[in-house]
Structure 1
Amino acid sequence: MTQASLARIGARGGAVTLLGQVLMVAVRMGALIVLARLIDPGTFGLVAIVAAISTFAVSVVLFGLPMAVAQAETLSRPAKSTLFLVNVGLGLLLGAALFLSGGWLARAYGDERLVGVAHWLALIPVLIGLATQSRAQLMRSLRFTTLFFAEVVALVVGTGAAVFLAVRGAGLEAVLTQQLAPVALQVVLVVVGGRWLPGRPGALAEVRSLLAVGLRILGMNVLKNGSRQVIVPVMGLSVPAAALGNFDRAQQLIVTPINLTVDRMQQVVVPVLSKLRGRPARMRAYAQRALLLGAYGTATVFLLLAVLGRPLVRVVLGPGWETAGVVIQILALGATCRVLGQTMQWIFIAAGATRQGLRFNLWTQPLVVAVSLAGLPFGVLGVAVMNSVAWALFWPVATVAAARAAGFPAGSFFVGPARAICLFGIPVAAVAALPLLLGLSDGVTVVLGLVLGGCAGALSRLLFRTVRSDLDALVSTARLALARRTSPASARPERTHGANLHERD
């Protein structure tokens, strides 16, 4: 595969994934708005306890194998079948453990409804185990459009079923459907779209090296997801269900863009970066451009949430969710750094530095949890403040560690995102906050703030040459994604500030 065609496939895969992200965020936000007005916060808090455990179990079931397979140079059919059995076995084991834990959870949290919640959500690790290798094959063959279709269709249909149940008066059943139905449908679509079925497994020795890589990626994922998921169950032991529901909804509003940016884009970025491992300069240039997407896109969204979160929550969620508005403003500040810090995992994996990545996560992710829970004596707001402090410290440390592991200068991964935040994101958020001073209605404040923020972004592009160069680089990536074939002109080197995909070695 030529460098130009690889760049085009990577750009097109990124564009498809970003389009999927936009659609999925829209669906999730729409469902959140509707369900929050039909179902009480306590029900969300109840399901959040088990959902956090289920999500953690999914990290173990994956065993890091999708990314390990995506970066492997060769992989035989018997080896794929062996890995399939590993994922299915882990899914059955973790699903059974969650199913049997229902009684213990009910006693620990004093609510018998947790038994049924645990029984239903125990299906999720099993389903994920069945589809993991089909998803890995799609990623390995760079078939990002098929993945996009499966994820979006499954989410739309599954979420629609949850909203339908809620409108008809169901509460707990609707929230459980929102968790389970998209996963079940996505499994069917991925397996069918992947056109791959397991055969006779090979010898375990054939996949030993992949399992070793997967184990290290598993460690990174478990530590990363543990830092996301352990906070809610621990808070549930001392925080009322309604307050926990407010925190969980606010956290979901934050985590959803991170999942759909960092985790989904990883499916595109890691396979492409791995193919450039033998060309360090080009690998670094592609990574820089990928990081700019998060800096100018997701990080700016979080800064807007930090200033407009409270009126936005009052508009979209209605009464009973006032605490969530404050929590989301606080968490959004930390999420600005969190999304940039967690993208460094792309570098660890693609550079073949999973051992260093695991060592780094072994001490940083537990520290994030510890710092966050240090705010527990002050309730949900205290946890939110300390969580943001933890992620603000995490970003520069993660950048330095990943760059060092890959053999790149840290400044090449830090300067671009920092420039995007200082010269673009912060001015956009500052100008968007001006309507808060005018005493307008919540709806008008949000709309006017977004309009003014957009104008501030356009002015920033006009005033700062580096911002203009960065945004032009992202636009050229989008154009590359839309190109149907590579012309000689598109294969020529293009000069952009700090992120040249076609840079010479």
Structure 2
Amino acid sequence: MSTEETTTDLKKKAVRGGAISMAARLSTIMIQICSIVVLSRLLAPDDFGIIAMITAITAFMGLFRDMGLSAASIQKGELSDEHTNALFWLNVAAGGLLTLLTMASAPLIAWFYDRPELQPVTLLLATTFVISSIGAQHSALMQRELRFGPKVAGDVAGALLTLVVSITLALFDQGFWSLAWGTVLGAALTTLMYLKGSKFRPSMPKRTGGIRELLGFGANVTAFELVNYFHRNLDSVLIGRVWGAESLGHYSRAYQMMMLPISSLRAPINAIAFPVLSRLQHNPAEFRTFYCRIASLLAFLSMPLMAFLIINSENVVSIALGKQWIAVAPIFALLGITGFIQPVASLRGLVLLSLGQTRLYLAWGIVNAAVVSVAFLIGVSWGPTGVALAYAIANYLILYPSLVYFFRETPLRPLDFFSSIAIPLTATIVAAIGAFISTQYLVMTASNWIQLGSSAAVFLALFLVAVLLLPGGKKTLKDYYTMLRMIKK
């Protein structure tokens, strides 16, 4: 097969895989929304609180479940069956150890919260560590091979079973047990489908060379996630400590609303970008071309969406949460400023990971955590809005230095980032200004839905016109149309 044919085939797999991942993500979100709506009416707040008490602890322990080995297997240029088998057993060992540690901690958790019922529930939920670890390498291999059909089928099926089991048991007055059993059985089904969908079949463990390199890669990724975990939770800790539960409630709701559209777009695209960039790590020209395309696509999807949400924050919050939550709107708008650039900026991390430069990746994670933490400490004096604004300022201040740092030993340059987002960025600014001005002439007595719909129509029209008028805009739209046709073939 020629290089041109190989690149074309890789592009087709990436486009189809992206479409499948996006569709699966939307399906999962719909299941989550259904879960929130239905279970909130069947279960008491205390039932959710009991599960939240446990997950607050297990979420931290979960950082060590995979040990970065899934990312290592995806990035590795040549991965033998022996390597995969060794990584499988390492994952299982880590998952088994975390299960035992969590089970051993169950009495302590129950004592800490002074809730005896937490002990048996913790014992049950602890099994999810070993269950999920069994399918970790199977999932990673399907992503590595861009075989997203079987992988997302397992994800969606598991989420759906979690919902069905939880609702069924809740109808029989099983309270918090309905959530616990739904989580465990959903994880079990996902793992079973991973095992069925993957071509990998594990054998007995045996000593294999070259594992130390993979473990080093995984250790740096895990350390990055650990650093990231602490600074991502510092804002909530500070707000809760200084301003209390109500302010934290407003901030957490705003943050969740911001992250929903971001994760919905970023997660499926990153799932495609990482294995493709890893395959192209020894082809600098194609590596650069693919990065620019994926950055442009993510910018086209995320920037107009976040800008629209920012200028319509009050209507969005009123519709989504109710008018009693209107205090969330300014926090949501300020967090949206970060969300405007964050999805496409986060691709810089995949660049280093795909090239195997995990030490640089970890080093930047420490610097980033320090900068953002200082911003939180400064901003908390002004409450949740101060924290949100400080977060935005910190992200934009470190953007260019981070690009210089991430791209210095890669085929990319900071200019590649800015040229990739130039068209969607310009068109979004034009559309946002036009939509904001036009909505000022609407009758404010109109319903939130009418105001939001009118703004959406104006925003979309102005965005498309601006793209068509900008140099290179028509060609970009034609390229995306070609990609859509690839999905159907």
Q: TM-score range by the shorter chain?
A: 0.7 to 0.9
Which moved further from structure 2: 238-247 or 255-264? 238-247
Deviates more, 1:373-382 or 1:69-78: 373-382
Residue 104 of structure 1: how far off its partner (Å): 6.1
Among residues 403, 426, 429, which one is paired with 2:432 in the alignment?
Answer: 429
Over 3 Å counting, the alpha-carbon distance change for 1:6 and 1:392 in structure 2 is same
Cα distance in 2 for residues equivalent to 1:39 and 1:330: 33
Task: Report whether the alignment pairs 1:281 with 2:285.
Answer: yes
* Larger RCO (alpha carbons 8 Å, 6+ apart): 1
1:123-138 to structure 2, matched below 5 A, reads 123-138=127-142
1:170-217 CA distances to partner (integer Å, 9 max, x unpaired)?
875666677666444322322222253321223153311111222222
CA contact (8 A) 2:424 2:467 kept: no
SS at match of 1:201: coil
Report the equivalent of 1:498: none
Partner residue in 2 for 1:80 = 84
Secondary structure of the residue aligned to 1:357 is helix
- 1:272 maps to 2:249: no
Matched, 1:360 2:360: no
Correspondence 1:417 to 2:421: yes
Looking at CA atoms only, which structure, 1 or 2, has the larger radius of gyration? 2
- Residue 3 of structure 1, aligned match among 3, 7, 23: 7
Deviations 1:341-397, CA, capped at 9 Å, x for gaps: 212111111223222222211211343244235433444333333333333334333
* SS at structure 2 position matched to 1:62: coil
- Aligned 1:242-391 pairs, distance under 5 A: 243-318=247-322, 320-391=324-395
Q: Which of 460, 464, 468 is the equivalent residue of 1:462?
A: 468
**CA drift at 1:281:** 0.9
Partner of 1:487: none
TM-score w.r.t. the length of structure 1 is 0.82
Residue 265 of structure 2 contacts residue 302 of structure 2 at CA under 8 Å; is this kept in 1? yes
Q: Provide the rounded CA distance (Å) in 2 between the counterparts of 1:86 and 1:327.
A: 43
In structure 2, the residue matched to 1:447 is 453
Deviation at 1:287, TM superposition (A): 0.9
2:334·2:392 contact (CA, 8 Å) conserved in 1?
A: yes
Pairing 1:156–2:160 present: yes
Q: How far, CA to CA, are the matches of 2:485 and 2:143 in structure 1?
A: 22
- Equivalent-residue separation in structure 2 for 1:77 and 1:311 (angstroms): 54
Alpha carbons of structure 1 residues 444 and 414: separation in structure 2 relative to 1, 3 Å: same
Give distance in 1, aligned partners of 2:185 and 2:96. 18
* Mapped partners of 1:40, 1:377: distance in 2: 35
Match of residue 476 from structure 1: 482
Distance, in Å, in 2 between the alignment partners of 1:210 and 1:109 is 39
Specify whether residues 246 and 370 from structure 1 end up closer, same or farther in structure 2 by C-alpha distance, changes over 3 A only. same
- Give, in whole Å, the separation in 1 of the partners of 2:250 and 2:339: 18
Query: Could you list the per-position Cα deviations for residues 144-167 of structure 1 after superposition, in whole angstroms to 9, with x for gaps in the alignment?
Result: 111222222322342455566678
The SS at the match of 1:405 is coil
Is 1:215 paired with 2:219?
yes
Q: Residue 393 of structure 1 corresponds to which residue in structure 2?
A: 397
Q: d(CA) in 2 for partners of 1:37 and 1:334?
A: 34
- Map 1:14-25 → 2, pairs under 5 A: 14-25=18-29
What is the letter of the counterpart of residue 471 of structure 1? L
Q: Contact 1:330 / 1:388 at 8 angstroms: preserved in 2?
A: yes
Cα pair 2:275 2:354 within 8 Å, conserved: yes
Find the aligned partners of 2:327 and 2:181 in 1 and give their Cα distance: 25
Which moves more between the two structures, 442-451 or 323-332? 323-332
Q: Give the 3 Å change call, closer, same or farther, for CA 29–398 of structure 1 in structure 2.
A: farther
**Alpha-carbon distance, 1:246 to partner:** 4.1
Alignment of 1:51-66 (within 5 A): 51=55, 53-66=57-70
For 1:473 and 1:403, locate their aligned partners in 2 and report how far apart those are by CA, in whole Å: 26
Q: Distance in 1 between matches of 2:235 and 2:111?
A: 19
| RMSD across aligned positions (CA) | 3.4
Q: Provide the rounded CA distance (Å) in 2 between the counterparts of 1:319 and 1:152.
A: 33
Specify every segment of 5 or more residues in structure 2 that has no aligned partner in the other structure, as ranges.
none
Structure 1: which 5+ residue stretches go unaligned? 484-505
Distance across 1 between alignment mates of 2:451 and 2:172: 33
Q: Which residue, 5, 13, 18 being the options, matches 2:17?
A: 13
| Distance in structure 2 (CA, Å) of the matches to 1:209 and 1:70 | 14
Range with bigger deviation, 178-187 or 194-203:
178-187
Q: Please give the TM-score of this superposition, normalised by the length of structure 2.
A: 0.85
Q: What corresponds to 2:146 in structure 1?
A: 142
Contact 1:41/1:242 (8 A) holds in 2: no
Please give the alpha-carbon distance, in whole angstroms, between the structure 2 residues aligned to 1:296 and 1:64.
Answer: 30
Alignment of 1:160-175 (within 5 A): 160-162=164-166
Q: Are the equivalent residues in 1 in contact too, given 2:131–2:191 (CA < 8 A)?
A: yes
TM-superposed deviation, 1:74: 2.6
Is residue 356–residue 405 contact of structure 1 (8 Å, CA) maintained in 2?
Answer: no
**CA–CA distance in 2 between the matches of 1:44 and 1:325?**
25
Counterpart amino acid of residue 154 in structure 2: A
| 1:49–1:232 contact (8 Å) kept in structure 2 | no
How far residue 334 of structure 1 moved from its aligned partner, in angstroms, is 0.9
Identity of aligned residues (%): 23
